A and B are shown apart, each in its own frame.
Chain A
Amino acid sequence: MEFLNESFMDAYEMSKGINEDQQIENIRQIMKEHAQQMQETIEMPEVPETAEVFEPTEFIETEEGGETVEVTEFTEIIGNPEEDMEAWSPQTEDYSCAVACQKYIAEQLTNVEFTEKSMIEYAYSEGWYDPESGGTPFDDTGNLLEEVGLDVDRDYGGTLQEIAQSLENGDKVICAVNNTTLQCPEYADIPGVTANHAVEVIGIGMTKEGDLKVILNDPGIENGCGFTCDAETFMKAWGTGGNFITTVSSGEQIV
């Protein structure tokens, strides 16, 4: 199977060489250029101020204990988050986040519905997932997808540009993040904090205020379907695992 860089440290250094702020700025620039190109090349009829609203992203409890949905409006989106969100379901076991993410992608790329239970059973039988030992090792992320005939690449030192490029190509992406950091970015500053969770990145969006957001299918939280976080927070959470990225493609060319 296609595998990691020989030198993990080299790959990590490579990603750090294009520092996180620069990566975010690069994507912002790409999206601005893309938006400009769209306006220049296509004769547009009268267009609304903002693009189609993308929802839902966050759930906020009201004082009464009910739930309201906060909607984030994006002017530019890379990826196809609305469609990818349809595959989301919460992980069924404490340690099955990587299996859940593989389930999402298997359904998205093969148009076949899978149950997480059946994927857990298969992964367990192959030794790729062990709930009694705490889940899935990094290197086994993607094995289930190779079994269904998809092309899988695993690497450290991934960049936001690579995620954007993969999503533009119609590929799917799993990233190893620290889940506490996604909720509390300062947590990544504690020495020794490393990635402990797998999420599917389904989109990168720019708000009209110019903020870059990363859109996830996070199997580990109730509101994980299309969960949105600041790009800076995502980069911190992803950086705890050396920017480990699993890229999956169907092998078909996008025309």
Chain B
Amino acid sequence: MTAKEYTAPEKKHTITAKELMIKLNGTPIVRGEIAMETQLGIPFAEKKRDRLCISFKPHREEAKDGKMQFYPNQYEVEFVYPSNHVVRFSNLTYKKSVDISAPVCETDMQVMLGAGKYALNALYDELTELLVFWEKDKSVSDAAIKKYQKSYYNTVKKLGLEKLYGEE
């Protein structure tokens, strides 16, 4: 009997970045290891071992006096797409002295709701593009990753969150 070539059925729908975030928020590591009072934050994309990896700096956010305050990240977590397996996880409060009692940066609430939301939506659209590239070719080009990372840091800068997310 001749062995049959395995081919998976064609996917009707490529996951969007927003849908991916919902999935990642439901993974065992987020549910079981990361305190609910934190937000995953803005997704960062990298290529490692030719795989698409998405990482986060989970941290606390608090609205106060018309500002959105951002606290230091307490964790680092990285997933590999599309399996969403964990590549890396660290609770930084055990690793080094992290004072999570005071915010490190803040953004005006109106900016978050206006320009911030617009910038983040645009960034998420770019992340969706990376996911589409992956689904189509099972790879993502270095150029596409670089483009996304540039947009990531531009968004961070627009929101004044360099102290949390770093600079390019």
Cβ of A187 within 8 Å of any chain B Cβ, yes or no, is yes
Residues on B with C-beta less than 8 A from A98 are 36
A-B interface pairs (CB < 8 A), number: 111
Q: Which residues on the B side are within 8 Å of A113 (C-beta)?
A: none
A240 to B9, CA, bound (A): 32
List CB contacts (< 8 Å) of A218-250 with chain B: 241-242
Chain A contacts of B120 at CB under 8 A? 190-192
Is B39 interfacial (CB-CB < 8 Å)? yes
Which of B18-26, B129-137, B138-146, B160-168 lies at the binding interface?
B18-26
Q: Choose among B30, B42, B62, B75 the residue that contacts A192 (Cβ–Cβ < 8 A).
A: B42
Question: B14 at the A/B interface (Cβ < 8 Å)?
Answer: no
In the complex, whether A108 has a CB less than 8 A from a CB of chain B is: no
Chain B, interface size: which category? 35 or more
Any A CB within 8 A of the CB of B40: yes
Query: Which A residues are CB-close (under 8 A) to B27?
Result: 8
Bitwise, B119-158 to A at CB < 8 A (1) or not (0) is 0110110000000000000000000000000000000000
Do the beta carbons of B93 and A187 come within 8 Å of each other? no
A108 to B89, CA, bound (A): 38
Interface flags, B34-77, vs A, CB<8A=1, else 0: 11111111110000000000000000111100001000001100
CB of B1 within 8 Å of the partner chain: no
Query: B60's contact among A9, A134, A138, by CB below 8 Å, is which?
Result: A134
CB-based contact B117/A190 at 8 Å:
yes
| Chain A neighbourhood of B33, CB < 8 A | 137
Whether B100 pairs with A190 at a CB distance below 8 angstroms is: no
Q: Which of A119-168 contact B (CB under 8 A)?
A: 130, 132-141, 156
Q: How far is B28's CA from A156's CA once the two chains are assembled, in angstroms?
A: 13
Q: Which of A130, A137, A190 contacts B31 (CB 8 A)?
A: A137
13 A-B residue pairs with Cβ-Cβ distance under 8 Å, sorted by A, are A94-B101, A95-B35, A136-B37, A156-B26, A187-B112, A190-B112, A191-B120, A192-B21, A194-B21, A195-B36, A196-B37, A196-B39, A196-B61
